[in-house]
Amino acid sequence: MEWTDWAGRKHKSMIGPPVSMHAMRGISAHSNGFHTCRALHILQILLGSIDAPGGFRYKPPFPKPAPPPLKPAGKVDQVNPNSPMPGPPLGFPMGPEDLLVDENGDPTRIDKAFSWEAPISAHGVMHMVLNNAWKGDPYEVDTIFMYMANMSWNSSMNIPDTLRMLTDKNNETGEYQIPRIIYSDAFYQR
């Protein structure tokens, strides 16, 4: 069986066993997840299944371009109501000109990703969304939409404060500090 490796070289036969494992977020997002992932990848190395057909393959295309082509979209002049975003919300800023800040240098995203507070946040700073919405920092919100953010997940790190932020009321208005929360997921799925 002929196959092509990551460098484009053709091989007439297999060089490793077709054993594939993928840790993804399910394992890595839990306590001791790093060590579980490390154990899986050491097992892949011992089995010789790295870059073997049916085994773990490096995601093509390689080599990755440098500098990275994706930069986070969402600058003040790029985002408009009732319009799609002009690009991905995540990326790799290469300089201050790629940060998502307003003319005063303040963050434009609720999680403050890609601002001076968190300039290199390739995955965003999603763990700060509820806290920042509750504080009204960098701005107040009237609705939080959460998708695939299972709030029953046991690794919230600060469950009492998270619950308080979700249920706190504004002393002046009597309304919830975060007025509306829309949640879409397989809630409490375990």
Residues contacting 65, CB < 8 A, separation 6+: none
Dig out the tokens for 39 from the structure: 């154990």
Q: Which residue has the higher pLDDT, 14 or 69?
A: 69
Q: Beta-strand (E) ranges in the chain?
A: 3-4, 10-11, 143-147, 180-184
3-state class of 132 per DSSP?
Answer: helix
Enumerate the domain spans of the chain: 3-47, 96-184
Q: How far apart are the first and last CA of the chain?
A: 41
- Distance, in Å, from the CA atom of 52 to the CA atom of 4, rounded to the nearest integer, reads 9
Q: What is the pLDDT of residues 173-189, one digit of tens each?
A: 999 999 999 887 765 55
Model confidence pLDDT, tens digit, residues 99-141? 999 999 999 999 999 999 999 887 778 888 889 999 999 999 9
Q: How high is the pLDDT of residue 107?
A: 94
Tell me the pairing of strands 143-147 and 180-184: parallel
63-111 per-position pLDDT tens digit = 566 677 889 999 989 988 899 989 998 889 989 999 999 999 999 999 9
- pTM value is 0.62
Q: For residue 91, give the nearest of 121, 65, 118, 64 by alpha carbon.
A: 121
Q: Which helix (H) or strand (E) holds 33?
A: helix 33-47
Give per-residue pLDDT as tens, 135-158: 999 999 999 988 776 655 555 677
Q: What is the DSSP letter of 89?
A: S
pLDDT at 154: 52
Given CA atoms 178, 73, 93, 62 in this order, what sign does their dihedral have?
positive
Give the pLDDT score at 3: 78
What is the Cα 71 distance to its own chain's centre?
A: 14
